[in-house]
Amino acid sequence: MFLEVSSPNEIIYQGEVSLVQMPGKMGSFEVLHNHAPLAALLEKGRIKIIDWQRNIIYLDISSGLVHVKNNQIKIVTEN
């Protein structure tokens, strides 16, 4: 899967990943390879990213939006 996390001013993260956990408005959820299409609101919390080399990366966000389709994940956050 390819993940892009951006704010209005910059791209925060971009790369191939195997898992992304996000703080959704209705609770935390995760996206894996071949996930169904999804659009959701994100709330303040921490995004957990596991890349293809099994590195774990954490990004703190204040809020945002996520769009998932065809193994492409795009997150737009305010910070």
In CATH, what number is assigned to the domain containing residue 21? 2.60.15.10
Q: Is the pLDDT confidence value at 33 over 90?
A: yes
Cross-strand pairs, 35: none
Give the distance, in angstroms, between the CA of residue 11 and the centroid of all CA atoms in the same chain: 12
Sequence-distant contacts of 28-37: CB under 8 A, at least 24 apart = 31/1, 31/68, 31/73, 32/1, 33/1, 33/71, 34/71, 35/1, 35/68, 35/71, 36/68, 37/68, 37/69, 37/70
The residue segments making up the domain with residue 39 are 2-77
Note the pTM of the prediction, 2 decimals.
0.93
Count of domains in the chain? 1
What's the mean pLDDT when you consider all of the chain?
A: 96
pLDDT for the residue 68: 98
Q: Is the pLDDT confidence value at 42 over 80?
A: yes
